[in-house]
Homo-oligomer: A and B are copies of this chain.
Amino acid sequence: MSKKFVYLFNETDGTMRNLVGGKGANLGQMTKLGLPIPQGFTVTTEACTQFYQDGEKISASIEKEIFKNVKELEKISGKRFGDPSNPLLVSVRSGARVSMPGMMDTILNLGLNDEVAEGLAKATGNPQFAYDSYRRFIQMYSDVVLGFDKSKFERLIDEMKHERRIQLDSEFTAEDLKLMVKMFKQIYFENTNSEFPVDPKEQLLGAVSAVFRSWENPRADYYRKMNGIPSEWGTAVNVQEMVYGNMGPTSGTGVAFSRNPATGENKVFGEYLMNAQGEDVVAGTRTPEHLDTLANVLPKVHKEFIDIMKFLETHYKDMQDVEFTIENEKLYILQTRSGKRTAHAALQIAVDMAHEGLITEEDAIMLVGTEHLDNLLHPTFDQEELKHIKPIGTGLPASPGAATGVVAFSVDQVVDFHKQGLPSILVRLETSPEDIEGMHLSEGFLTARGGMTSHAAVVARGMGKTCVTSAHNIFINEEMGYFELGGKKLVKGDWIALDGTLGNVYGEKVKTVPVKISGYFEEFMGWVDNHRRLGVRTNADTPADAKQALAFGAEGIGLVRTEHMFFEGTRIKAMREMILARTGAQRRTALDKLLPIQQQDFENLIVAMEGHPITVRYLDPPLHEFLPTSMADIKELAEELKLNPEEVNAIVTSLHEFNPMMGHRGVRLSISYPEIAEMQTTALINAYIKVQKAHPEWNLVPEIMIPLIGDVKELQYVKKVVVETADRLISKSGLDMKYQVGTMMEIPRACFLADDVAKEADFFSFGTNDLTQMTYGFSRDDAAGFLKDYQDKRIFESDPFQTIDQEGVGRLVKMAVELGRKGNKDLHIGICGEHGGDPLSVEFFHKAGLDYVSCSPYRVPIARLAAAQAAIKEKRSKK
Contact = CB atoms under 8 A, between A and B. Distances in A.
Interface string A782-798: 11011001100111100
A708 interface: yes
A365 interface: no
A775 B795 contact: no
A782 B671 CA distance: 16
A664 interface: yes
Contact of A711 (B657, B786, B795): B795
Given A660-B658, A660-B659, A662-B659, A776 B795 contact: no
Interface stretch (A210-218, A806-814, A840-848): A806-814
A859 interface: no
B662 A786 contact: no
A225 to B, nearest CB: 15
A777 interface: yes
A250 interface: no
Contacts of A663: 779, 782-783, 786
Q: How many residues of A sit at the interface, in one of the four size bands?
A: 35 or more
Nearest to A781: B658
A518 interface: no
Given A668-B786, A789-B671, A793-B717, A808 B658 contact: no
Interface in A635-680: 657-664, 668, 671-672
A778 interface: yes
Nearest to A795: B713
Interface string A736-776: 00000000001111001100000000000000001001111
A79 to B, nearest CB: 48
Given A748-B748, A749-B809, A661 B664 contact: no
A545 interface: no
Given A717-B793, A776-B710, A779-B659, A753 B808 contact: yes
A659 B782 contact: yes
A118 interface: no
B664 A777 contact: no
A65 interface: no
B753 A807 contact: yes
A424 to B, nearest CB: 25
Which among A770, A777, A782, A785 has the greatest number of chain B C-beta atoms within 10 A? A777
Which secondary structure dominates chain A's binding surface? helix
A659 B748 contact: no
A563 interface: no
A805 interface: yes
Which among A710, A749, A796 has the greatest number of chain B C-beta atoms within 10 A? A749
Contacts of A770: 777
Given A657-B782, A710-B808, A785-B664, A776 B749 contact: yes
B795 A717 contact: yes
Contacts of A778: 662, 710
A805 B749 contact: yes
A661 B789 CA distance: 19
A419 to B, nearest CB: 14
A748 B786 CA distance: 19
A776 B748 CA distance: 7
A13 interface: no
A805 B713 CA distance: 14
A411 B874 CA distance: 67
A714 interface: yes
A645 to B, nearest CB: 22
Contact of A658 (B748, B749, B782): B782
Contacts of A808: 710-711, 748-749, 752-753
B805 A776 contact: no
B671 A795 contact: yes
Nearest to A714: B795
Contact of A782 (B664, B805, B811): B664
A782 B662 contact: yes
A752 B774 CA distance: 13
Interface in A687-718: 708, 710-711, 713-714, 717
A785 B656 CA distance: 12
Contacts of A662: 659, 661-662, 773, 776-779, 782-783
Interface string A466-499: 0000000000000000000000000000000000
Interface string A535-576: 000000000000000000000000000000000000000000
A811 B659 contact: no
Contacts of A783: 662-663
Given A793-B671, A807-B752, A808-B749, A786 B717 contact: no
Contacts of A748: 748, 774-775, 777, 808, 812
A45 to B, nearest CB: 22
Contacts of A668: 786, 789
A851 B668 CA distance: 36
A749 B786 CA distance: 18
Which among A785, A795, A796 has the greatest number of chain B C-beta atoms within 10 A? A795
A790 B708 CA distance: 14
Contacts of A774: 748, 774-775, 777
Interface in A190-214: none
12 contacts: A657-B779, A662-B778, A663-B783, A671-B790, A710-B775, A710-B777, A713-B795, A748-B774, A748-B812, A752-B775, A752-B811, A752-B812
Given A659-B660, A659-B781, A747-B776, 17 more contacts: A659-B661, A662-B783, A663-B779, A664-B785, A668-B786, A671-B786, A671-B795, A710-B776, A710-B808, A713-B794, A748-B774, A749-B776, A749-B805, A752-B775, A752-B807, A752-B812, A753-B808
Interface of A: 657-664, 668, 671-672, 708, 710-711, 713-714, 717, 746-749, 752-753, 770, 773-779, 781-783, 785-786, 789-790, 793-796, 805, 807-809, 811-812
List the 4 closest A-B pairs by CB distance, nearest first: A659-B779, A749-B808, A662-B779, A658-B781
